[in-house]
Amino acid sequence: MKYIEAIAANVNDLKDGDMRQVRVGEKEVLLNKLDGKFYAIGAHCSHYGAPLAKGVLSGHHVVCPWHNACFDVTNGDQNQPPGLDALACYEVRVEGENVIVSVPENTTGLRSPDMAQFDPNIDGRTFVILGAGTAGTHAAETLRTAGYQGRIVMITKEDKLPYDRTKLSKAYLAGKASPEEMPLRSPEFYDEHHIEVLLNQQVKQVDTTAKKLTFSNGDSLSYDALLVATGGKPRQLDVPGADLRNIFTLRSFEDANHILTAAESKGRAVVIGSSFIGMETAAALTQQGFDVTIVSPDDVPLKKIFGEQIGKRFQQVHEENGVNFKFNSKAVKFEGNGQVETVILDNGDRLAANIVIIGIGVQPATDFLQDVNLHPKDHSVVVDEYLRAADGLYIAGDIARYLDWRTGESIRVEHWRVAAQQGRIAAHNMAGKSVKFRGLPFFWTMQFKFPLRYVGHAESWDEIIIDGDLQKQEFIAFYVAKNQVLAVATSHRDQETAAISELMRLNQMPSIDELRNGKVDFVNRARSN
């Protein structure tokens, strides 16, 4: 292999705990100094390619500024999702005052994690992963990185290998991502690591005593351990005309493709619901040339999650881009000749529509589970801190209900990164370790050019402290209850967000008085760990 070598820095350029992006030939490298030693790894996050130098170095790991993936800077290992690959690790040496980094000429900056080889003679067990979403995908790969050599079967009712669901309502629907950009891994990857993916297979029943799954075609499959990660199923609107053509929900690749096909003729779109799916879909369809109206029973979009001020800022951004809102309204009927033409609201208003998207939330997809502890509120599965629901049965992602270690409350979240984290933890436990789930919820949204990141979990709060400027979309909002920061929503303050999530994870957030006074240096506080 050919290497490129270059002087990347002077030894005095970096203090302990510093990191910077440097160039070695044409390649970008993240150079770090820890305990007097230099390390060099790939410069860009394996998720969406964020420059890690703009994140936060905390202890031995760097937190990505965009969606909080974490990498060990001494070897490039990824220790927190959402990305799947590790980072390349490069040779560094010091000669005199020069820090010299050596990089393979063909490096991509990424590295596939080391995985155990499938060998049924060594391990004759079958581990089944029901659900090929983010939790399932991370679990399958983690089983191999954790050394499991038995059979892995991942099952999905969809016709696609695992893909990036979060892009559906953003880049994909807006026409900015092609179908080829959606898969999380290539077909060859699953072959190489002997991860069997059964497509188009719906599971109808799980017998947790006999450890057996039954498919809708009557076939069955026995398992030694099972991870159920079946995600959410969109709520339907039970009103007359709801079965007309061109009325959609959005959960799967197939849903998005149906919407795109119907959207070819452009025209008017009505979106029912002003939470994430509704708002993101409205933004994407507007960018596709639709005249979009959002119908919502609320008076401000996203108010229950972010509060009134931030919700109104999202509304303003949508209105500036031409989206109309019908607040305090419900759709009570759809009319049309085979295909939807009119949406009728509870106040009698009639909205012309070529397509309708219903975004009124999801329910945990658990109807095939009988003999486990389902929560009466939403039929999510109650798990212990190891994400276990019964002997040999693990649960991860949108269907898992667990105790939030920060507040002791029973919560369930619908976030991509959390589902990935849980898939990883569940896999470690299936593989024989004893790892507790102690994640900090994190999600992001992007509507037009308004990005928002959210760390923590707050269903209600006493106060929202806002640092920054909502109008400029540069702010941090702290959601406070009983003198504790439960959650933080931020826009265009990415490095501080990474630092805050680190401080929240370590239980080292500044006091509420400090936050009220402003000017807290979150980045330096997180770096000093």
Residue whose C-alpha is closest to residue 101's, from 47, 20, 46, 35: 20
Among the residue ranges 7-15, 25-33, 65-73, 320-328, the one whose residues contact ligand FES (CB under 6 A): 65-73
Minimum distance from residue 120 beta carbon to ligand FES (Å): 35
Distances in whole angstroms, Cα of residue 425 to Cα of each of 180, 264, 385? 29, 42, 10
164 touches, from ligand FAD, ligand FES, none (C-beta below 5 to 8 Å by class): none
* Total residues in contact with ligand FES, by rule CB under 6 A: 11
In the three-class reduction of DSSP (H, G, I as helix; E, B as strand; rest coil), residue 387 is classed as: coil
Instruction: Tell me if 502 contacts ligand FAD by CB under 6 A.
Output: no
Spatial separation of the C-alpha atoms in residues 461 and 479, rounded to whole Å: 6
Minimum CB distance to ligand FES smaller for 68 or for 126:
68
Can residue 67 be called a binding residue for ligand FES (CB under 6 A)?
A: yes
The helix-helix angle for 134-145 and 416-430 (nearest 10°) equals: 40
* 69 is a contact residue toward ligand FES (CB under 6 A): yes
Stretch that binds ligand FES, among 61-69, 139-147, 264-272, 427-435 (CB under 6 A): 61-69
If phi > 0 it is left, if psi is from -120 to 50 it is alpha, else beta; for residue 286 that is: alpha
Q: Does 251 bind ligand FAD (CB under 6 A)?
A: yes
Helix, strand, or coil here: 345?
strand
CB 168 within 8 A of CB 279: no
* C-beta of 329 vs 497, nearer to ligand FAD: 497
Q: Stretches 66-74, 215-223, 316-324, 333-341: which one binds ligand FES (CB under 6 A)? A: 66-74
- Closer CB to ligand FES, 81 or 231, in the complex: 81
Minimum distance, C-beta of residue 167 to ligand FES, in the bound complex (Å): 12
Give the 3-state DSSP-derived string for 60-96, with helices as H, strands as E and coil as C.
CEEECCCCCCEEECCCCCEEECCCCCEECEEEEEEEC
Closest CA to 489 of 481, 479, 499: 479
Candidates 43, 57, 161, 203: give the one binding ligand FAD (CB under 6 A). 203
Bin 128: left if φ > 0, else alpha if -120 < ψ < 50, else beta. beta
Q: Is residue 487 a contact point for ligand FES (CB under 6 A)?
A: no
* Min dist. Cβ of residue 105 to ligand FAD (A): 36
316 three-state secondary structure: helix
Rounded Cα distance, 507 and 256, in Å: 40
Contacts of 430 (CB under 8 A, 6+ apart): 127, 139, 143, 148, 225, 227, 394
Cβ-based nearer residue to ligand FES, 30 or 369: 30
Residue 97: name the closest of 7, 5, 34, 6 by CA. Answer: 7
Write down the least CB distance from residue 409 to ligand FES, Å: 26
- Does 296 sit near ligand FAD (CB under 6 A)? no
From the list ligand FES, ligand FAD, none, pick the one residue 48 interacts with, judged by a Cβ distance below 5 to 8 Å according to partner type.
ligand FES
Quick one: which of 24, 29, 41, 64 contacts ligand FES (CB under 6 A)?
A: 64
Among residues 50, 88, 360, 498, the one that binds ligand FES under rule CB under 6 A: 50
Choose one: 1-9, 40-48, 234-242, 344-352; the region binding ligand FES (CB under 6 A). Answer: 40-48
Closest contact distance (angstroms) between CB of 442 and ligand FAD is 7
Burial class (CB within 10 angstroms; exposed 0-12, middle 13-18, buried 19+) of 254: exposed
The residue among 231, 230, 224 whose CA lies nearest residue 393 is: 224
C-alpha closest to that of 19 among 63, 56, 47? 56
Decide: is 131 part of the binding site for ligand FAD (CB under 6 A): yes
Nearest residue (CB) to ligand FES, 62 versus 247: 62
Binding partner at 82 among ligand FAD, ligand FES, none, C-beta below 5 to 8 Å by kind: ligand FES
Alpha-carbon distance of 437 to 458, in angstroms, equals: 19
Residue among 79 and 202 whose Cβ is closer to ligand FAD = 202
What mask, x for binding ligand FAD by CB under 6 A, covers residues 274 to 293? ---x----------------
What residues between 82 and 141 interact with ligand FES by CB under 6 A?
82-83
Nearest distance, CB of residue 344 and ligand FES, angstroms = 42
Q: Which is nearer to ligand FES, 51 or 336 (CB)?
A: 51
Beta carbon nearer to ligand FES, 45 or 206? 45
Residues 6+ apart with CB under 8 A from 119: 149
Does residue 443 interact with ligand FAD by CB under 6 A? Answer: yes
Q: Which residue in 485, 475, 490, 492 sits closest to 443, CA to CA?
A: 490
Q: Are strands 151-155 and 126-130 parallel, antiparallel or unpaired?
A: parallel
Which position among 31, 116, 135, 206 is part of the footprint of ligand FAD (CB under 6 A)?
Answer: 135
Please say whether the beta carbons of 227 and 129 come within 8 A: yes
Query: Is residue 364 a contact residue for ligand FAD (CB under 6 A)?
Result: no
Cα–Cα distance measured from residue 150 to residue 140, given in angstroms and rounded to the nearest whole number: 11
Which positions lie near ligand FES, rule CB under 6 A? 45, 47-48, 50, 64, 66-69, 82-83
Which positions lie near ligand FAD, rule CB under 6 A? 130-136, 155-158, 165-166, 168-169, 201-203, 229-232, 250-251, 277, 365, 368, 397-398, 414-417, 419, 443-445
